[in-house]
Amino acid sequence: MPAKTIAPIDGLTPRQVQVLRHIACFCDRQRYSPTIAELAGKMNISRSTVFEHLGELQRKGLLSTCQGKARSSRLTSRGRGLLEHLDAAGPEPEDQPTGGVPLLGQIAAGLPREAVENVESLSLESCFGLGGDLFALEVSGDSMIEENIEPGDYVICRRTNVADDGDLVVALVEEDEATLKRFYKERDHIRLEPANANYRPIRTNHCRIEGIVVGLLRRL
């Protein structure tokens, strides 16, 4: 029987293949998917980097996830077929440089949600300059509408793990849920403040800052 042909996947990097392999092995062993933190620890890379790779794998149709449900990442049939093909014949593709600011997917401006979404690219150099520390997120939810941040807007963020009181931040809450809120450090906890009277602040001792918002784009 002739070997099964796998269509080439543009821009797939060796690191993304490694992420795919780790998820496949973990799911086969545990019957559920690893968290972003578990993948980051296993591969000795940052959670932000894992987040980007997961989104890219989903965009390429190699990985699927159930929106709003933790530990729901699964290899698609195409993803399984790719690993089988790579195991059977040939080296993994090399890294290829990409341009623009990565659009990592959606950020919840409502209740937190699992931080794994699609990845595209926005060319924003003329507005914000070049730099690998910039990324973009599409807003979902309405918890920041009183600051004129609406669902479907894009927030442009600068990657950092520190924030000052009052900064508008992208925060990971309880390891894997991302949200867009104002950051305030209280005496014994972190307060993530919405800008909508229908939402209560999120108070937590388990919060990791992934970026500070530096700009906003809106489709007309």
Active site residues: 143, 181
Position 158, amino acid: R
- CA–CA separation, 137 and 119 (whole Å): 9
Whole-number Cα distances in Å, 142 to 109, 117, 167, 185: 6, 18, 18, 23
Cβ–Cβ < 8 Å for 74, 33: yes
Which DSSP category does 147 fall into?
Answer: G
CA distances from 35 to 25, 39, 72, 136 (A): 13, 6, 9, 22
DSSP state of 117: -
Q: Where are the alpha helices (DSSP H) in the chain?
A: 14-30, 36-43, 47-59, 77-88, 125-128
What is the token pair recorded at 76? 């698609």
Distance CA 86, CA 90 (A): 6
The answer for residues whose C-beta is within 8 angstroms of residue 131's C-beta and 6 or more apart is: none
